[in-house]
Amino acid sequence: IKDDLAFLGVLITQVNKKLSDPTLMELANSLCHTDPEKRPVTASAIAVLEGVKGNQVDQAEVVDEFSQRFHIGETLKTHSYGKTVRAKDTLSQSNVILKYESGRPEGNWAQSEYRHLTSEKLLTVAGIVKAVAGGGAGAGFYLATESLIGNTLLTLIDDGQVNDPAVASKLTMQLLEILEAIHPDMAAIGAVIDANPGLLTTAEMNTIDELRRGGVAHNHLDPSNIVIVPGRGPVLIDCIRMARLGEQIPARVVQYWPKKMAITQSDPAADLFAVGSMLLRMLTVESGGKVRQQGPSSAQRDSLVEIALRAIDADPQKRFASATAFKDAIVSSGLVMTDIRFSEDVFALQNK
């Protein structure tokens, strides 16, 4: 084993020629120590490797890799494994949001997002941000998505532009139509499970597996991840946690997520909970971001609040089982629906 660890030290030394990580250098030197008894044990070596932050991307190198196709603009976000920037794609002649990642231990999030965004099911959904390009670059992967001209739902909520029940109900319906298009058939999955309260047979498990492959959950619905585009409606962005029912997803702090649901497991039910939470927020926040304490009540507002509260009920069994069931509750209430009318230029509003 000690000889194997020494060989690992040699490999780490070679890899670290590119990374130049001081922690890796120290580990490699200790693994290659001439006295086998002074080399670290396997558990210690693993602990050190787990503490390394991964491949710190050379930002200048990233710019060089894309300079021929993309004209790099404003940097929007940087992290240990890459960055996100505004860019101009010279092939499509369009403005894009460009992500580059490399070295993330749990897998490349940009690559996973690209795989879902280019799937046959999502390509036809107008309410999902479109991938313009994607592929390997150096040791990592890049994803370019369309740059949307519009306001985030967060901006509109804080500006009081979606406080009208007619507008809130229309936006909610549009969000549910998107989820209805991308989610698997949750009603069919539930029917298979309910038909046999005991252990599922192999055939039933195969049926459920086939059904869950029929769609994905977004898993990070938040007002800041929804852009309202004039003439198009709401568009879901930031799809890195998108996955099939039951699949492992990246751990993130998500504002609208059921308390007793695992944060690292994909579940369409979490999307429905998020829509209910956002509907309640739309109805209770006025201009300036102030929470509406008291005010004139109306049958439509009260009905919507009741629907939203059901969507986020503490008992999961009382919530809506699918986007279709959620939609049906709104339609059956006979609510009046109105498209949002932007009161200001979208750029001026976004830059407030």
The pLDDT, as a whole number, for residue 6 is 65
CA distance 69 to 234: 29
The pLDDT, as a whole number, for residue 81 is 87
The pLDDT, as a whole number, for residue 19 is 62
Write the DSSP symbol of residue 135. E
**Structure-token pair, residue 162:** 């979606």
The pLDDT, as a whole number, for residue 300 is 87
Residues in CB range of 285: below 8 A, 6 or more apart = 157, 158, 160, 163, 291, 292
Helices and strands in the chain: count of H runs, count of E runs: 14, 8
Per residue in 43-73, pLDDT (tens digit) is 555 555 545 544 555 555 554 556 688 999 9
The pLDDT, as a whole number, for residue 58 is 53
Q: Which residues of the chain register pLDDT less than 70?
A: 1-11, 14-24, 27, 32-67, 286-297, 343-352
**Structure-token pair, residue 64:** 């060089």
Per residue in 297-331, pLDDT (tens digit) is 688 899 999 999 999 999 999 999 999 999 999 99
The pLDDT, as a whole number, for residue 340 is 87
Question: What global pTM score does this model have?
Answer: 0.77
The pLDDT, as a whole number, for residue 4 is 60
The pLDDT, as a whole number, for residue 69 is 87
CA distance 289 to 307: 23
